[in-house]
Structure 1
Amino acid sequence: MRGWWQDLTDLVLPAECGGCGRPRTVLCPKCRAALTGNAPSRVRPDPEPPGLPVVYAAAPYEDQVRAALLAHKERGALMLAGPLGAALAGAVRAGLGPGGRAAGAAGSGAPVLLVPVPSARWAVRARGHDPARRIALAAAAGLRRSGTPARVAAVLRQRRAVADQSGLNSRQRLDNLAGALEVAPGGARLLDGAGRVVLVDDLMTTGASLAEAARALRAVLPEKGGFYGRVTPGTTGEGVRQAQMAGVGRAEAVREKGDAHSADDGVGAAVVATSPASFEINRN
């Protein structure tokens, strides 16, 4: 017969590991090692969407990492936000380069600004929470504890409805998201003074969401990202792709230099996980 203390424990402790199902732990040591045991790496999807910023990821999206992300996102295992945020903080720190400081702002005290990629409104309602924002808050707290000034600014919002991305290929995802995001009124003011703007998400699949989010940010940061082309309100589809393509040559030039920590346009990206194939950039 269960005692009252066991019932109380069920309310304050997780029932099982988010990665493997081991009882009485948020994330067991083996699953935690799969998430944060390796150094975060620069990643790139293939094909790479136009305008995608430099992206760092903590772990491949497979096995225990995949299970933990799904448990947090779809099953409301909110205590996983802590370890997932720690993994994301590691990816952000790797993108900042040696010392974990915002490029171009060493010694200035300028904070790193984490901008979560917004989920569709219907998805937030269905899940009861915004996974990317929750993980971003945990990551910012971890960065501050390690000495890197950081804050979260959820300045992006959807300006039109988008279809469910599951089942869409990379080109269809670009079409689905083209022109879908914008910086909310007053958001540009919150971006002022940031040492580095880092888009953050729990997962990168094709990179379409990060590319569209970067486009929306660059539209209000012309002095940092003007070479990517401005997109006026109401522009969608092919018009957005043309504006994105305007900066492809410049972005490729930066990549050809091999400068993984370039702050050329002031916008970077970090995710908890991405496909194992996206890590292949480091073997070429």
Structure 2
Amino acid sequence: MRGWWQELAGLVLPAGCTGCGAARELLCAGCARALSGAAAGRVRPSAGPAGLPVVHAAAVYEGAVREVVLAHKERGALPLAGPLGAALAVAAGMALGVGAGVPAGVPGAVPCAVPGAVPGAVAGGGVRGAAAALAGAGPVLVPVPSARRQVRARGHDPVRRIALAAAARLRRAGVPARVAPVLRHARPVADQAGLGARERRENLSGALAVRRGGRALLPDGARIVLVDDVITTGATLAEAARALRAGSVAPVAAAVVVAAPPDSFLSNSADNPYRATFL
């Protein structure tokens, strides 16, 4: 009841932009631009934990962007999964090597090297050429799971919802992505709020595992991208990557909607020609 009513109310009776509150719409043009992926790039926490895969993020977790993420995650503004998923699609595309390069035929352009990218995927004809190279691998987005108590309290699973929206965006761009929620919580964990990097690693150590039968959803050769909404210390993604490796699955990389702090971005791809394709 709670979920569909909040979604309907958000569509029909927007009180103001969830990012800045200025416009009488769910997301104003300015806040939408902040989630456009213009500043997308690779991120690395200052004390990144061992086992953390290469991570790409679409935006910095601050200001209006932070408000949008929290409105979707904690306040049930479910229609925001669309723009948040579009932002995640940019980061996931970069992780797969179809959103961090320049298509053939652009004078003087040099494709960016993305660890784990399919050789020749970008240079061979842009998004469509990359999609053809990825088709046999079957890109799979694996969302970081929410604890059952959090799903009950929120009325939805925010990361899974955003992942589904991102996969839909990628498919429309010709990248045959799908979502496989194969991870589960193997034991309870404490609330991460207020914990430092070391405490978060200890809190999450051994907390995740592959679901029974989950390995069958990830065929050999599938290109795996772990996805989450936010990265701060990297402890959650590192634990998710460990759980997949323990299940004989090696993630290619990870993608998130937002990252904090701003200086965790190692580079950006403001001139990314594929950004508009995923939005």
TM-score bracket, normalised by the shorter chain, equals 0.7 to 0.9
1:1-284 equivalence runs, <5 A: 12-98=12-98, 103=118, 106=133, 108-193=135-220, 195-221=222-248, 225=250, 266-275=251-260, 276-279=262-265, 281-282=266-267
* 2:82–2:162 CA contact under 8 A, matched in 1: yes
Q: 1:118 to 1:107 in 2, by over 3 A?
A: closer
Q: 1:154 to 1:161 in 2, by over 3 A?
A: same
Please report the TM-score for the alignment, with normalisation by the length of structure 1: 0.77
How far the C-alpha of 1:63 sits from its partner, in A, is 0.3
Query: Separation in 2 of the partners of 1:80 and 1:214?
Result: 27
Q: Deviations over 1:21-65 (max 9, x none)?
A: 134322111001111151410000010101000000000000010
How far the C-alpha of 1:204 sits from its partner, in A, is 0.5
Segment drifting more, 152-161 vs 99-108: 99-108
Unaligned stretches of 5+ residues in structure 1: 1-7, 226-265
Aligned-pair identity (%): 63
SS at match of 1:213: helix
Query: Separation in 2 of the partners of 1:68 and 1:99?
Result: 23
Query: Separation in 1 of the partners of 2:53 and 2:244?
Result: 11
Query: Separation in 1 of the partners of 2:232 and 2:207?
Result: 18
SS at match of 2:133: coil
How far the C-alpha of 1:158 sits from its partner, in A, is 0.1
Q: 1:28 to 1:10 in 2, by over 3 A?
A: closer
Counting matched residue pairs gives: 233
- Answer 1 or 2: which has greater helix percent: 1
Q: Deviations over 1:84-114 (max 9, x none)?
A: 0000000001112246896368164332100
Please report the TM-score for the alignment, with normalisation by the length of structure 2: 0.78
Q: 1:61 to 1:137 in 2, by over 3 A?
A: same
Aligned amino acid, residue 178 of structure 1 = S
Q: 1:177 to 1:21 in 2, by over 3 A?
A: same
Q: 1:9 to 1:181 in 2, by over 3 A?
A: closer
How far the C-alpha of 1:267 sits from its partner, in A, is 2.5
* 1:102–1:112 CA contact under 8 A, matched in 2: no
* 1:118–1:132 CA contact under 8 A, matched in 2: yes
Query: Separation in 1 of the partners of 2:202 and 2:10?
Result: 45
Aligned amino acid, residue 61 of structure 2 = Y
Query: Separation in 2 of the partners of 1:209 and 1:28?
Result: 31
